[in-house]
């Protein structure tokens, strides 16, 4: 239903009819595997210090002060230092040389700092609590160092493309892309071997996914993208002596990147 709505919006903006004028080429072209080369656009991209992602709430960190337990939401987080992306873009529908709808698959590898933190940036430890710790009113433990480094991402985005880069025939100088989809994150790829953290203890924190939206501006061979998370996440709040579970909009992804087109 959403795909159909996007197609209708694109057609409406472009003033398209589905018919074929007599003696002319069809206005709308659908993906044909026999013309695969002309239906794929490839890009490579990078970002430096403008990339971070956070998982939905994974657990609760409980701190104790004067005998009172205070819960805090726990998230997996990755702060990107240097990231590289390869992205094939498959044109599913094209309108003449003016516009298209594509399936974009950004694949990213990032040198990043990956950790599991509470809202107050406690380094949450997933190591099992002992009976003695529980008897001493210790409900959560804290780590000394970061969990690990590097993470990988794989996304699938449905995009509306207008102007430059929308089709292989388009020769305009400028174009734009508006996308929505889902992005998977896996990290850390390398655990902190100095602290000797056990990957098995953190299995549930090492991967997550989030809905995302993206806007791109094309100029010649260069594209500037901004992608952000659009997912709500459940967070536990304490109201007096009770817990009130609410849903709030939390930005789970941010990335400003520069990409370069390979071919047309």
Handedness of CA 119, 121, 126, 132 (dihedral sign): negative
Are 91 and 167 spatial neighbours (Cβ–Cβ below 8 Å)?
yes
The answer as to whether 200 is a domain residue is yes
* Number of neighbours of residue 137 by Cβ within 10 angstroms: 10
Residue 227 in any domain: the answer is yes
Q: What is the arithmetic mean of pLDDT over 188-206?
A: 92
Residue 30 lies in a domain: no
Structural domain count of the chain: 1
More confident call, 246 vs 5: 246
Q: Are 261 and 221 contacting, i.e. CB atoms less than 8 angstroms apart?
A: yes
Q: Is residue 35 in some structural domain?
A: no
> What per-residue confidence (pLDDT) applies to 118?
81
| Domain hosting residue 77, numbered range | 40-262
Asked if 5 and 13 count as a contact pair (C-beta separation under 8 A), the reply is no
205 inside domain: yes
Rg (CA), the chain: 23
Q: Is the residue at 117 inside a domain?
A: yes
From 60-64, 89-93, 201-205, the region with the lowest mean pLDDT? 60-64
The answer to whether residue 186 sits within a structural domain is: yes
- What is the tens place of the pLDDT at every residue in 100-141? 999 999 999 999 999 998 877 888 888 877 777 666 666 677
> pLDDT-based confidence at 21, cuts 50/70/90?
very low
How much is the pLDDT for 12? 47
Comparing CA positions, the residue from 261, 171, 193, 162 lying closest to residue 221 is 261
DSSP states of 109-141: EEEEEEEEEETT--BEE-SPPPHHHHHTT---E
Model confidence, pTM: 0.81
Residue 11: pLDDT band (50, 70, 90) is very low
Q: What DSSP element (H or E) covers 179? A: strand 174-186
3-state secondary structure of 7: helix
**pLDDT value of position 81:** 97
Instruction: Tell whether 9 is covered by a domain.
Output: no
């Amino acid at each position: 239903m959403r795909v159909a709505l996007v197609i209708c919006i694109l057609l409406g903006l472009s003033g398209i009819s589905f018919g074929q004028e007599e003696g002319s080429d069809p206005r709308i072209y659908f993906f044909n595997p026999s013309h695969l080369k002309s239906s794929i656009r490839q890009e490579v991209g990078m970002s430096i210090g403008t990339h971070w992602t956070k998982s939905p709430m994974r657990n609760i960190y409980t701190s104790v002060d004067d005998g009172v337990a205070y819960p805090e939401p726990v998230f997996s987080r990755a702060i990107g230092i240097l990231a590289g992306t390869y992205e094939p873009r498959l044109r599913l529908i094209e309108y003449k040389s003016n516009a298209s709808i594509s399936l974009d698959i950004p694949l990213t590898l990032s040198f990043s700092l990956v950790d599991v933190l509470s809202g107050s940036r406690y380094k949450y430890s997933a190591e099992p609590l002992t009976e003695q710790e529980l008897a001493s009113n210790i409900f959560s433990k804290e780590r000394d160092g970061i969990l690990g480094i590097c993470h990988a991402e794989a996304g699938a985005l449905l995009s509306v493309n207008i102007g430059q880069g929308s089709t292989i025939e388009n020769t305009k100088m400028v174009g734009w892309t508006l996308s929505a989809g889902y992005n998977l994150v896996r990290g850390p790829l390398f655990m902190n071997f100095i602290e000797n953290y056990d990957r098995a203890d953190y299995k549930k924190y090492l991967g997550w996914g989030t809905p995302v939206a993206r806007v791109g501006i094309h100029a010649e061979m260069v594209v500037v993208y901004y992608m952000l998370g659009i997912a709500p996440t459940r967070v536990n709040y304490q109201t007096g002596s009770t817990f009130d579970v609410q849903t709030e909009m939390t930005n789970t992804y941010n990335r400003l990147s520069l990409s370069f087109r390979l071919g047309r």
